[in-house]
Amino acid sequence: MGRIGISIYPEKSTPEKDIAYLELAKKYGFTRVFTSLLQIKENKEEVLHQFKTVIQKAKELGFDVMVDINPDLFAQLGISYDDLSFFSELGADGIRLDLGFTGQEEAKMTRNPYGLKIEINMSQGTNYVDNIMSYSPKAENLYGSHNFYPHRYSGLSEEHFNYCTEKFNKYRLNTMAFVNAPSGTFGPWETSDGLCTLEEHRDLPLATQVKHYCLMGTIQDITIGNAYASEEDLKAMSEVFFAPMPTLLVECKEETTSLEKEVLFNNLHSYRGDRSEYLLRSTQTRVKYKDQDFPPHTTENMKRGDVLIDNEGYGQYKGETQIALKEMHNDGRVNVVGRIVPHEIFLLSYLQPWSSFQLKEFR
């Protein structure tokens, strides 16, 4: 089972606010913390004191804390990759290398005596991880995480994301990607158009971003890149991540009956295995409701994302639930009872035959 995480930026806030955020996130099952030391300039001792205060509280609450650094910071703080005691004393569980070394150093760092995790950048698309693996690292201490991208239009394409992620999955390393909380207002840098990994996530609701990663199934951990996410966002992310199956949001038609809403929202749906390119079929509802009446209404032509129930004109198919995958002509035997909300229609491409899913009314 993967984990969900939050990000904190002590140099941009106060220990009191960070600790309150940690306590709120803990309530909803968050167990990872990402933070960054890349912004340390003047007042180094004061900033480090703030970091230590917040990290200690995070540890008390049961969080794993990863600290973002780069080789320049090693020089600035007078630290060597041969001696990571500084980060252990800081209370961190690991360090994330925003920029790496040659591969040999990373491998050596995984064998540190403190058990610190060494998390490396997954987004570059090079053979970086292969190079590190060639130096025989302690694999359980080697993690991977994608970048986040504060600049609009600079985030990863899904194609590049998948290419990079596969390089890490072949070694079965722990992986993480970032999502953006619309309620968050800041990150480590001045520019903050959202802190997501995938560009297509930038303006999506947080829950939809998380659903996408869960359906992709290639990333273990998901972290909110910006702070502070609202309690509503934290709760929504937790519910989606820990749900036993995906849930798609549906906007109902005005004409949709109470029986049809029961069919849609009070049943577990299963994507029929002998898949059609036109329809995602959930056939058990026609068995359960075979004795109920489904008179025709709203028999308009169908388009991708429409939610359908066959009416009595379809005989033995009456009561079957479907989701349109392509445009289709409606000859009057299908009731168009709703529509997947626009920002979740793309998720239909990730549902797999024989998988279970639920539908929830969007209000």
Give me the CATH code for the 248-361 domain, please. 2.40.100.10
pLDDT of residue 44: 63
Residue 18 near residue 54, CB atoms below 8 Å: yes
Residue 37 near residue 51, CB atoms below 8 Å: yes
CA distance 24 to 61: 11
pLDDT of residue 43: 59
- pTM for the complete prediction? 0.95
What residue ranges in the chain does DSSP mark as E strands?
A: 4-7, 32-36, 64-69, 94-97, 117-121, 142-145, 174-179, 221-224, 247-252, 269-270, 279-282, 306-310, 321-324, 334-340, 356-361
pLDDT digit string (tens) for the chain, length 363 residues: 799 999 999 888 899 999 999 999 999 999 999 998 876 665 567 767 888 999 999 999 999 999 998 777 777 778 888 899 989 999 999 999 987 788 999 999 999 999 999 999 999 999 999 999 999 999 999 999 999 999 999 999 999 999 999 999 999 999 999 999 999 999 988 878 999 999 999 999 999 999 999 999 999 999 999 999 999 999 999 999 999 999 999 999 999 999 999 999 999 999 999 999 999 999 999 999 999 999 999 999 999 999 999 999 999 999 999 999 999 999 999 999 999 999 999 999 999 999 999 999 998
Q: Which helix (H) or strand (E) holds 45?
A: helix 44-60
Where do you find CATH 2.40.100.10 in the chain? 248-361
Residue 106 near residue 120, CB atoms below 8 Å: yes
pLDDT of residue 39: 65
Domain spanning 4-243: which CATH class is it, in words?
alpha beta
CB-count burial class (<10 Å; 0-12, 13-18, 19+) for 259? middle
Could you give phi then psi for residue 305, rounded to 5 degrees? Answer: 95, -10
